[in-house]
Every structure is written in structure tokens, then in C-alpha cells.
């Protein structure tokens, strides 16, 4: 039986229950003197640093079983943490307990961690991603799983957004709560995941179906943006290699596309579009307008895309871009709208985000030119 001191996300009852599973812990409020919990930049969890005169408030978990410690270590040590034994104060008692420390330099910090703020803003995402992480306990070693944490956060964000979806049901029926999940597993897990469901659903005749299996490629939600220069009536497209056409053995697996990217954990769709425009085209966008939201291939893919058009000055735009860390090699090119739209008929525009974006712009081009360029009358 062992004692541990929790200063971060494990102070939360829901997170602790998610990690411990069937195990239980006896918890007491406690303080670790001369230490402070620091927020990890760009993440939803803290690390702890020594700081004379500071106090790290948390919980003392006493007499933990070996299985409980094993589950806690799986959750924490896979991220590079290590255990150190220190004295913590629990009321009038001083108790030796182990504390999860992060080796110096592993994470950049962003000020002191605020547990209450985390609970209000970041807990749902952390809990959702953490549940996917802990679902691999006993299957995949934690140190092999840590590189996939970013993908888990992206998928968690998508599931949270999916549950909040409130799209109209005018022509289609309302089927909320009419699908029963019997079992779910992830036979493939990387930055993306393959999820297999065994499920039953209520049919249109009112009866429940028999069990059925369905596989889904889970990549998380994404955003696209088509920069439009209303003054010069031109758009910016990007060209890059795509593994999808390559896997299909397309002889030219480079695609013309709208700017696109996965949503990061703390970003709105608009913020994602602006970030990706800088990364993929060195472009600072002006006013933006949401065009649409859609599932790319709902029979087999969980991806949901939000598409934008954005006001942009494309006079000096174009060139080579992309993040070296992601091995991106992107060509940004400025094209007159008519030439871009002609790629639909020619077949050179061969992906749904670009096709939909160009068609939407064709239908709204006159309005946007009046709005963003002050043009009057019709647009040829």
C-alpha cells in the first residue's frame, strides 16, 4: 500500500475515477510546501516545480493498492513523469508521499496552474481524451501511447462538438437516442484511429435491428478556408501531396485545395482557419464568413468540416510554405476566380472541400464583391 500526492488533474473526482477504474482511494486535502503547480503551455494539465515559499495544494491518497498505483503510473509515467518521495502536510499530520514530477525542460510552462479555471474550461476535453487513453490500459504500453495524445485530444474535441450538434431535422426524422452501442474497440490507434462498433438501431418501421458491425475512420474535425480577393476577383489555392489519392494509385497524387487543417484543442473554427492561413500560405486573413458544415463521407468517416471564405489581399501572395515539423511541402498560388471555377468542369478540382467552396463562392461572389470591394451591379 502506498501514498501519493495529487496536485493537478487527479484532484478532480471524475478524472480520478476514470483513471482508477474499479479501484478506490482514501483522499485528504494536503499541501506540498516550497512547490508550485505550473500550467503546461498549450496543454490541459500542469507540472510541479520547486519554489521556496510557495504552496501546492492538492489531495493525499493513502494506502493505495498495487493495482491503483499501476493504473495511476500508466496515466502519468507515459508522459515522462517520474515519482519522488516528499513530505506533505495533511492537517496536523506530516506524511511521506510520492509525487509525479516532470524532468526539467520536457514541457514549457505558461504561468501558475489554476485548478478552478481548468475545471470550468478544460476539464471536459481532458476527461474525454483521458478516457480514450485509459481504454488502452493493459493493451498498449503507456510510453508507446504518449505520441498519440495530440490525436486523442483532436478526436475528443470532435466528440464534444458532435454531442452539441443541433442541426435541423425538417425532412429527416429525429432519431436521438435510438442507437444502442453494444461494444466498441479501436483496432488501429495512431494520430488517427479506426473505431469498430457493434450496435443496434431503431428502424423506420419502429422495430429494433439486430446487432450490426460498422467501422469508422476517426480523424477529428477540420476547417477549410478559401481566401478571396474581391478587388481583383481572385482566390488563393494550395497544392500538396495527399496520401489518399496515392493509396488509390492516382498517378498524380498532388491536389489543389482550399487551405485546411485540424482543429486544435483550445481553438474556435475561426481561429483554426486564421492559423492555417499563416502556416500554409503566409496569409493574414481579413473578414471571414462561414459557408457550411458537413460530414465528408458519413458512411465510413467521422470527420466534420467547417468551411469559410475570407477576405484577403492577394496582390503579393503565393510561394512555398508548410511546417517543417509536419514535413509539409505546400505551394500557394493565386488564381483568377474564373480559372479556379473552371477546374470543376475540367476535373482538376477533385476533392469535396474545394468543389463545395468554389461552388458556394460562385453563388455568393456578386454579394461579396459588393461587400468587400464596393462593386455595384452584376458580376460576369
Which residues are part of the catalytic machinery? Answer: 326
| Number of helices (H), then strands (E), in the chain | 10, 17
What's the rounded Cα separation, in Å, for the pair 325 and 191?
A: 15
What does DSSP say about strands 304-311 and 222-229: parallel, antiparallel, or unpaired?
parallel
* DSSP type of residue 287: S
* DSSP type of residue 202: B
Residue 239: which of 258, 259, 260, 256 has the closest Cα?
A: 256
Contact yes or no for 116/100 (Cβ under 8 A)? no
Instruction: Spell 43-54 as b/e; 16+ CB within 10 A means b.
Output: bbbbbbbeeeee
Residues 6 or more apart in contact with residue 73 via CB below 8 angstroms:
83, 142
Residues 6 or more apart in contact with residue 217 via CB below 8 angstroms:
192, 193, 194, 300, 301, 302, 303
Residues 6 or more apart in contact with residue 83 via CB below 8 angstroms:
73, 77, 98, 99, 100, 101
Query: CA torsion sign, 287 to 310 to 275 to 127?
Result: positive
What's the rounded Cα separation, in Å, for the pair 321 and 374?
A: 32
Runs of H (alpha helix) within the chain = 13-20, 66-77, 115-121, 123-134, 142-145, 149-163, 243-247, 269-281, 337-346, 352-373
Amino acid at each position: 500500500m502506498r501514498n501519493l500526492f495529487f496536485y493537478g488533474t487527479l484532484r478532480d473526482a471524475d478524472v480520478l475515477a476514470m483513471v482508477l477504474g474499479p479501484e478506490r482511494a482514501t483522499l485528504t486535502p494536503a499541501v506540498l510546501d516550497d512547490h508550485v503547480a505550473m500550467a503546461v503551455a498549450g496543454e490541459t494539465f500542469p507540472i510541479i516545480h520547486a519554489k521556496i515559499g510557495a504552496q501546492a495544494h492538492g489531495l493525499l491518497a493513502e494506502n493505495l493498492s498495487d493495482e491503483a498505483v499501476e493504473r495511476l503510473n500508466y496515466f502519468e509515467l507515459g508522459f515522462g513523469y517520474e515519482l519522488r518521495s516528499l513530505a506533505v502536510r495533511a492537517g496536523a499530520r506530516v506524511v511521506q508521499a510520492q509525487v509525479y514530477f516532470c524532468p526539467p525542460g520536457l514541457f514549457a510552462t505558461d504561468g501558475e496552474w489554476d485548478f478552478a479555471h481548468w475545471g470550468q474550461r478544460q476539464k471536459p476535453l481532458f476527461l474525454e481524451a483521458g478516457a480514450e487513453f485509459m481504454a488502452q490500459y493493459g493493451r498498449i504500453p503507456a510510453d508507446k501511447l504518449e505520441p498519440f495524445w495530440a490525436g486523442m485530444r483532436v478526436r475528443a474535441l470532435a466528440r464534444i462538438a458532435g454531442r452539441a450538434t443541433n442541426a435541423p431535422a425538417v425532412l429527416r426524422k429525429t432519431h436521438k437516442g435510438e442507437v444502442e452501442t453494444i461494444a466498441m474497440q479501436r483496432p488501429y490507434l495512431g494520430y488517427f484511429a479506426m473505431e469498430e462498433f457493434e450496435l443496434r438501431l431503431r428502424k423506420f418501421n419502429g422495430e429494433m435491428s439486430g446487432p450490426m458491425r460498422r467501422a469508422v475512420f476517426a480523424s477529428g474535425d477540420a476547417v477549410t478556408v478559401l481566401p478571396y480577393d474581391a478587388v481583383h476577383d481572385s482566390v488563393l489555392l494550395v497544392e500538396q501531396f495527399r496520401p489518399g489519392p496515392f493509396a488509390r494509385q492516382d498517378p498524380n497524387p498532388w491536389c489543389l485545395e482550399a487551405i485546411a487543417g485540424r482543429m486544435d484543442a483550445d481553438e474556435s473554427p475561426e481561429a483554426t482557419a486564421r492559423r492555417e492561413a499563416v502556416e500554409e500560405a503566409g496569409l493574414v486573413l481579413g473578414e471571414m464568413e462561414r459557408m457550411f458544415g458537413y460530414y465528408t463521407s458519413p458512411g465510413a468517416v467521422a470527420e466534420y468540416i467547417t468551411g469559410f471564405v475570407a477576405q484577403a489581399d492577394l496582390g503579393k501572395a503565393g510561394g512555398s510554405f508548410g511546417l517543417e515539423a509536419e514535413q509539409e511541402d505546400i505551394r500557394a498560388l493565386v488564381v483568377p476566380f474564373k480559372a479556379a471555377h473552371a477546374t470543376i468542369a475540367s476535373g482538376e478540382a477533385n476533392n469535396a472541400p474545394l468543389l463545395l467552396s468554389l461552388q458556394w463562392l460562385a453563388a455568393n461572389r456578386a454579394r461579396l464583391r459588393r461587400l468587400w470591394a464596393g462593386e455595384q451591379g452584376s458580376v460576369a
